[in-house]
Amino acid sequence: MTKVHIDNLVRRYGALTVLDRISLDIEDGEFIVLLGPSGCGKSTLLSAIAGLDDVQGGRISFDGRDVTKLEPSRREIGMVFQSYALYPTMTVRTNMAFALKVAHADKAEIKERVTWAANLLQIGHLLDRKPGELSGGQRQRVAIGRALVRRAKLFLFDEPLSNLDAKRRTEMRKEIKSLHERLGVTFVFVTHDQIEAMTLATRIAVMNAGVIQQIGTPD
């Protein structure tokens, strides 16, 4: 598990300040949702935590270790995107195993991790299919599975349910909530959907215009 400390984070694009001295503490095993309208800075904050976006000021630490300038590959994170970002010519099995192969993990370990994640997400029967043969909900499970096989200590979700219809969104919310309870690791989840935030979060950080306006439990 990972405790995240964000201190006075600043991100600017030219004259536009997207993150304005953001400070936030995320506890071990917490499910925190960053909630706000389009352009409020929530995805930029998630990208900064992941190391995908540089910042002009402030500090990010994981368990007391400064990771502000650390490469994403060294942050021990799993990230799930809105677009799924699956390789269309690869099978589900190969998509899920890809990052481990690039890291030169042992073949037996790769097989074990892929099987574990597939069973956890109930997609074992889909391992030999390609993304084009799957529904939106199934593709999202594969994207989550690809993050899970890394055995990350911190999982980051960037509006992962936005491309699903209402029924699938409801189903996936339940699955993601259940997954968090079973894994017990830290989740940071970005959404503009208030119902999603209220359903999933242990705490919600309401963002607008590059600042956190309010933070607290759904209650």
Report if residue 10 sits inside a domain. no
Choose among 185, 182, 216: nearest CA to 202. Answer: 216
Report if residue 58 sits inside a domain. no
Choose among 154, 157, 163: nearest CA to 197. Answer: 157
Q: What is the mean pLDDT of residues 72-82?
A: 87
pLDDT at 58: 96
Cα–Cα dist 140/135, whole Å: 9
Q: Name the pTM for this structure.
A: 0.89
Tokens of 195: 């119902």
The CATH number linked to 147 is 3.40.50.300
Domain that holds residue 115: 29-39+73-216
Report if residue 55 sits inside a domain. no
Number of domains within the chain: 1
Report if residue 159 sits inside a domain. yes
Report if residue 113 sits inside a domain. yes
Report if residue 191 sits inside a domain. yes
Report if residue 52 sits inside a domain. no
pLDDT tens digit string along 120-150? 888 999 999 999 999 888 998 898 888 888 8
137 touches 121 (CB < 8 A): no
Report if residue 65 sits inside a domain. no
pLDDT at 16: 93
